[in-house]
Homo-oligomer: A and B are copies of this chain.
Amino acid sequence: MPFIHISMRAGKPDAFRQAILDGLYRAMREALAVPEDDQFMVIHEHDPSNFRTGNAFGVSRSDDVVYIDITVFASRTAEQKKALYQRIAALLGDEPGVRPEDIFIVVHDAPAENWSVGNGLRQFA
């Protein structure tokens, strides 16, 4: 049950944004082996004045940067995270065609006790 906040510039067509959500879900299935229909994601669209990016770390980013802020189980390994980044970049590069330079990901680790995925229960701890 990763939970994802995506932030991007406003104005892309619906199909573009659906492809991002589809790609992220598929990347989580492949790299993290999440269960079927484990998709908990929201997109925030931002006007130009509410969105800023830069070229730090030698990456030429554009206004089409997609910020992906994802919270996962704290038990995920460094190797799983590495695989996740690779799959996200590959899949979003295919569809809807996000440049790899424009994919920016930050992961938050939350232990099992920090999740309640319905019914007020602490399902995993």
Hey, which bits of chain A sit against chain B, CB under 8 A? Answer: 1, 3, 5, 7, 14, 17-18, 21, 25, 34-46, 49-57, 59, 61, 67, 69, 71, 78, 81-82, 85-90, 100-111, 113-123, 125
Contacts and interface: CB of A to CB of B under 8 A. Distances in A.
Contact of A102 (B18, B118, B121): B118
8 tightest A-B CB contacts, nearest first? A89-B120, A59-B118, A37-B54, A38-B56, A43-B50, A85-B116, A107-B114, A105-B116
Query: Chain A at the B interface: mostly helix, strand, loop or mixed?
Result: mixed
B54 A45 contact: no
B114 A1 contact: no
B115 A106 contact: yes
Given A34-B56, A40-B54, A49-B18, A100 B118 contact: yes
